[in-house]
Amino acid sequence: MSWYGDDPLAVFAPALAGLAPPPAAWLHPNSGIAGTVRLSGPAQTLALPVRLDPGMAPGTVGLNYAALSALGVGHGDPIGLEIAT
């Protein structure tokens, strides 16, 4: 999943960064998860709001590049996910 705010083009066109959705964990609606989740990776733990998207494959989490970098993971790397209380 790629967003305008993380695309290299946004570095040269700051107006595009404003089109990016706010940071979130994108999940399939059938995941049964809503609210906020805590995601953990080798670098740190992030708390992100959940956004439901029927285009997401069940069992996957969609993150922007900034969140992947903050967690210290790359595409396909496992991350920890728990529902924030």
**Average pLDDT of the residues in 68-85:** 88
> What is the per-residue pLDDT across 8-22, written as a single tens digit (0 to 9) for each?
555 566 676 677 778
Domain boundaries in the chain? 23-83
As to burial, measured by CB atoms within 10 angstroms (0-12 exposed, 13-18 middle, 19+ buried), residue 4 is middle
Query: What percent of the chain has a predicted confidence (pLDDT) above 70?
Result: 81
CATH architecture under which domain 23-83 falls: Beta Barrel (2.40)
Tell me what pLDDT residue 4 has.
Answer: 42
**Average pLDDT of the residues in 71-75:** 86
Q: How far apart are CA 71 and CA 46, in angstroms?
A: 7
Tell me what pLDDT residue 3 has.
Answer: 41
